Chain A
Amino acid sequence: MSDPLIELKHVERVYPLAKQQFFYVLRDINLKVEEGDFVSVMGPSGAGKSTLLHLLGMHDFGWTGEYFLSDAAIHQLKPKERTSLRNEQIGFVFQNYNLLDDLTVYENLDIPLSYRRYSKSERTSLVADTLDRFSIVGKKDLYPRQLSGGQQQLVSIARAIIAKPKLILADEPTGNLHSSQADDIMQLFKKLNGEGITIIQVTHSEINAAHGNRVIQLRDGWIVK
């Protein structure tokens, strides 16, 4: 096999607590994720799962250690280079959807494209394709508050993949959903994974984790399995 898509070496995340006191959220994380993997991160509340995901998603830079993504040494990149790499490769699905309230479904889907180099016509056709693919064409002019939770999460996943990322990071994508809706989302992930997209999801559910090919257990900031 070629090089892994993601490789973490001795990554640590520390929050200063009070004077001279520190709180280790992630400790000595060493991790390889191959291209095409479907990884589930599990562990008790407060274990550091979201922290790990945001670290991978390059929302957070306050860590130490080495992080390679597609052979790029993230720990050595400038913020601007990280952002463009992230824009190229990663789509993020939030636990609480984070759709923008004042924008329609169509406009929400268009946001990631507007920050990447797409022409106007490419954007129109990509949004149209995506709406079609997720069967939400009829909802394109609705505002997020007019959608159910499951529909909102669907839109947020659509928004995560619209710019054709190699990697999807999903933080408890089904946390707020009914189990049948959750199953639909997992089927969707499986399908996307089948198309070659690497997926890392945080989940509390063994059933959801079973859709993936790998499970990482976090406990108190340590990888235990």
Chain B
Amino acid sequence: MLNDLRLAFRSLVKTPGFTLVATITVALAIGANTAVFSLVNALLVRPLPYQAPNELVLLWEKFCGQGLDVIPVSAPEYLDYEKQTSSFTGIAAFDYADLNLTGGEIAERIQGAVVSPSLFTVLGIQPIRGRVFSPNEFGEGNDGVIVMSERLWQRRFNSDPQILGKAVALNGRNFTVVGIMPARFEFPIPLFNIQGGNFAGQVDIWKPIAFTKNDLESRGSRSYGVIARLKPGVTMQQAQAEIDAINAGWITKFPDNYSPQTRFGASLYSLHEQVIGGMRTALWILLGAVALVLLIACANLTTMLLARAGGREREFAIRVALGASRMRLLRQMLSESVLLAIVGGAAGTLLAVWGLDLLRTLGAHTVPRIAGANLDIRVLLVMLVVSVGTGILFGLVPALASGNPELTEALKEGGRGATSGVRRNRIRNALVVAEVALALVLLISAGLLMKSFVRLQQVYPGFNPRNVLTMELSLPQLKYPRGKPVIDFYAEVERRVARIPGVQHVALTSIIPLSGSNSDSSFHIEGRPEKQTNVFPDEEIRIISPDYFRVLETPLIKGRYFTEADNADAPGVVIINQAMAKKYWPGEDAVGKRINFNDEDPKKIAWFTVVGIVGDIRHRGLDAQAKPEYYLTHPQRPFRGMILAVRSLQDPRALVSSIRGELQAFDPEQPLANIKTLEQVTAESIAPRRLSTVLLGLFALVALVLASVGIYGVMSFLVTQRTHEIGVRMALGAQRADVLRLVISQAGLLIGAGTVIGLLAALLSTSVLRSALYDVSRLDLSTFVLVTFALALVALIASYVPARRATRADPMIALGRG
């Protein structure tokens, strides 16, 4: 064996050109496979960083009658689940919380979470220092403790070993640090497909939930996620049945809250599924793509080795004549291909390390868990197996095809080994056809995704994202209780920022489009029978300041924008979008109609009059149709957490420091968080799609290059093989054009056959792309035609080069006269 490897090494070193091309081919294919497999490993295979993660389930509620499928849970509901379920070993509620950390040199906005004390036990993760919350650290007055992440402890507190028991000021209140969670601990983690769930950053501080009296009384105020661990032996179905029973109990007990028309219910989801569910298709597509690349590489290497084996026919014949067995020859040839595959695989792995860096950068903040995409021992082992397997695969055919040379033919002086040559040619031709077909499938898929991506980028989102800066502010309740102080604070912010040179418009909003966060609220339309049926319309709601639509450049369709005069004391006003007008007032003029928010006391109903209709904004994604939305003005519905949006005349990033300065000047404790341009927000909303498009495009390109190299190699070989024939033909009168035609027509035949097969395969296989395409048919004619044409052209150029060389063949040399 060792001897075989040494021989193999020597013979590879003897042909450095071949070895180089073959190694690069393997490296490209194995590199692509390693990168994608690392991604799959990190996202799909590797367990979530909790104890027995497959026992963990999430609970979301739904109002099917109102089109709400996945919504959070209210405090009283959660407490019912906690008390009444027996399917779980533990259950916990959680929500994101914005925390302002003060007391250091600068105020800083920290991503926090409020959780029930049971959360850490449910997830089964121990702190690295101190303790987690005890069961009584729950509810108002008992929540003065926090657990922080190792990250924050290192960064902000310099890994202070005395941190436990110290007080930290958050939102203007002191909390005692009781524990530190390990760096790998992450919860909540970003989830896919949750309505209203946002894509917040990693959480650094956990504090106990403090349900207020108000929280405990309102069943309809839903903001908590619920996670639970199934008892051993209890199935999802059994747990779901228990939840269904609890829900049924509520429906009879609280008919006002759960009227039959709303079709209320709750569903359990596997946590793993919710974390990676949305990416599964994309990952399978990528995995399929790199598998095709690997196949093309194999085909390429097989043809190269076949050509090499052809050139070594005499060597093998002599070895056989000297007593080598067929098995020995096979082993020698396989040692060569496996050695090539391993060397190429190692190079490919290096390529993948670099590629993964790129992937993590591209997918940061937008693809959950992508930070963990790296080479671990599992990836390396799989790739070793794949490499060796590849080596055997591409080495076997040539080895078998020339393992039993025709002795008499091959040993004859100048014998051309006609019989095995024909067989090899046939295999080679089939491989070229296959390569072209596979490359075409990949190229068409990539073409469709790219076209779809371009279409998506051309979608008008309903606003102009250029030159807009956004940043979050969140006022602590202690310093800014609801009402006038909040309104005054934000009014002052707007006033001060508006003064900054270069600022065109300033506005506030509770939510920016395409950011991933969302908020909805039910309402009542004057004169509609909602009070009787208890089914209230529920649509997306935003709180804004008057200039919001000027900042966004969203057109006013009818009526007016909010003004300064729409203050807290003025009559209530609301602006709706076109989708909302169409849904609730079809064929009617919505302006002047009134809504309220189902106030308890009929004598104090606050009415809001529709004063304007604005254009639709795509909020959930460029690929999602706009939904009905309505806007209230900030003074009439003050929020403590708002987003400042600034339209500037030039690059808005230049404004950051002056805005920060203005803010510091009147409340240095309020940090600005999440500073982003609107263009950035828009780009991030399609980042996962960009990632898979870029990757597939890259792989298709690799496939194209490999296929061209393959065609080039085969045609060069054929031309060399036909030198004599070409020489005779030229001596008999063939012009260069005739020779060119001869060679190109042979290549054209192979390319044509590959194209036809590839087109058929693409017709069948692009159906897997359907869910990934936007506004492009999976059979999009122009993509099919263009890509096919491009591939055929590249392939013809690849065969033109050797054909050109054939025409330069000197007949004197070709005829053995040189």
A residues with CB within 8 A of B: 50, 54, 57, 59-60, 80, 83-84, 86-87, 92, 94, 96, 98, 100-102, 111-112, 115-116, 159, 163
Report which of A54, A116, A159 forms a contact with B817, defined as CB distance below 8 A. Answer: A54
Q: Per DSSP, are chain B's interface residues mostly helix, strand or loop, or mixed?
A: helix
Report which of B728, B731, B733, B811 forms a contact with A116, defined as CB distance below 8 A. Answer: B733
Report which of B733, B738, B812 forms a contact with A86, defined as CB distance below 8 A. Answer: B733
A86: nearest chain-B partner, CB-CB:
B733
A98 CA to B391 CA in the complex, in Å?
41
Residue from the set A57, A59, A60 with the largest chain B CB neighbour count within 10 Å: A59
A79: nearest chain-B partner, CB-CB:
B736
A102: nearest chain-B partner, CB-CB:
B725
Question: Please, what's the 1-or-0 string for B373-412, where 1 marks a CB less than 8 Å from any CB in chain A?
Answer: 0000000000000000000000000000000000000000
| Contact B731 A83, beta carbon cutoff 8 Å | no
| Contact B738 A115, beta carbon cutoff 8 Å | yes
B734: nearest chain-A partner, CB-CB:
A115
A116 CA to B735 CA in the complex, in Å?
10
| Contact B732 A159, beta carbon cutoff 8 Å | yes
Mark out the residues of chain B between 414 and 462 whose CB falls within 8 Å of any chain A CB in the assembled complex.
418
Is B653 engaged at the interface, CB distance under 8 Å to the other chain?
Answer: no
B415 to chain A, nearest CB (A): 12
B733 to chain A, nearest CB (A): 4
A117 to chain B, nearest CB (A): 11
A-B contact pairs, 13 of them (CB 8 A): A50-B817, A59-B730, A94-B731, A94-B815, A98-B728, A98-B815, A100-B728, A111-B729, A111-B732, A112-B732, A115-B729, A115-B732, A115-B734
B727: nearest chain-A partner, CB-CB:
A98
Q: Which 9 A-B pairs have the closest CB atoms?
A: A115-B733, A87-B733, A98-B728, A59-B811, A112-B732, A115-B734, A60-B812, A111-B732, A112-B733
Mark out the residues of chain B between 699 and 725 whose CB falls within 8 Å of any chain A CB in the assembled complex.
724-725
B417 to chain A, nearest CB (A): 13
- A159: chain B residues at CB < 8 Å are 732
- B817: chain A residues at CB < 8 Å are 50, 54, 59
- A116: chain B residues at CB < 8 Å are 733
Residue from the set B724, B730, B815, B816 with the largest chain A CB neighbour count within 10 Å: B815
Chain B: residues with Cβ within 8 Å of the partner, total of 17
A145: nearest chain-B partner, CB-CB:
B418
A115: nearest chain-B partner, CB-CB:
B733
A-B contact count (CB 8 A): 46
| Contact B725 A83, beta carbon cutoff 8 Å | no
| Contact B812 A59, beta carbon cutoff 8 Å | yes
A50 CA to B731 CA in the complex, in Å?
14
A51: nearest chain-B partner, CB-CB:
B817
- A100: chain B residues at CB < 8 Å are 725, 728-729
A41 to chain B, nearest CB (A): 16
- B724: chain A residues at CB < 8 Å are 98
- A163: chain B residues at CB < 8 Å are 733
B49 to chain A, nearest CB (A): 66
Known A-B contacts A59-B812, A100-B725; the reply to A80 vs B733 at CB < 8 A is no
A114 CA to B724 CA in the complex, in Å?
18
| Contact B732 A57, beta carbon cutoff 8 Å | no
| Contact B812 A83, beta carbon cutoff 8 Å | no
| Contact A59 B733, beta carbon cutoff 8 Å | no
B433 to chain A, nearest CB (A): 21
A202 to chain B, nearest CB (A): 13
- B732: chain A residues at CB < 8 Å are 92, 111-112, 115, 159
A213 to chain B, nearest CB (A): 26
| Contact A59 B735, beta carbon cutoff 8 Å | no
- B735: chain A residues at CB < 8 Å are 80, 83-84, 115
| Contact A57 B731, beta carbon cutoff 8 Å | yes
- B418: chain A residues at CB < 8 Å are 101
A123 to chain B, nearest CB (A): 13
A150 to chain B, nearest CB (A): 20
A52 to chain B, nearest CB (A): 12
B811 to chain A, nearest CB (A): 5
A73 CA to B503 CA in the complex, in Å?
83
A213 CA to B732 CA in the complex, in Å?
27
- A112: chain B residues at CB < 8 Å are 732-733
B811: nearest chain-A partner, CB-CB:
A59
B664 to chain A, nearest CB (A): 82
A80: nearest chain-B partner, CB-CB:
B735
- B730: chain A residues at CB < 8 Å are 59
- B738: chain A residues at CB < 8 Å are 115
A83 CA to B734 CA in the complex, in Å?
8
Question: Please, what's the 1-or-0 string for B578-598, where 1 marks a CB less than 8 Å from any CB in chain A?
Answer: 000000000000000000000
A100 CA to B725 CA in the complex, in Å?
6
Report which of A80, A84, A92 forms a contact with B731, defined as CB distance below 8 A. Answer: A92
Question: Please, what's the 1-or-0 string for B168-197, where 1 marks a CB less than 8 Å from any CB in chain A?
Answer: 000000000000000000000000000000
| Contact A83 B815, beta carbon cutoff 8 Å | no
A8 to chain B, nearest CB (A): 18
| Contact A83 B811, beta carbon cutoff 8 Å | no
| Contact B731 A59, beta carbon cutoff 8 Å | yes
A1 CA to B504 CA in the complex, in Å?
102
- A83: chain B residues at CB < 8 Å are 733, 735
A163 CA to B734 CA in the complex, in Å?
13
A54 CA to B725 CA in the complex, in Å?
17
- A54: chain B residues at CB < 8 Å are 812, 817
| Contact B815 A59, beta carbon cutoff 8 Å | yes
Residue from the set B729, B733, B815, B817 with the largest chain A CB neighbour count within 10 Å: B733
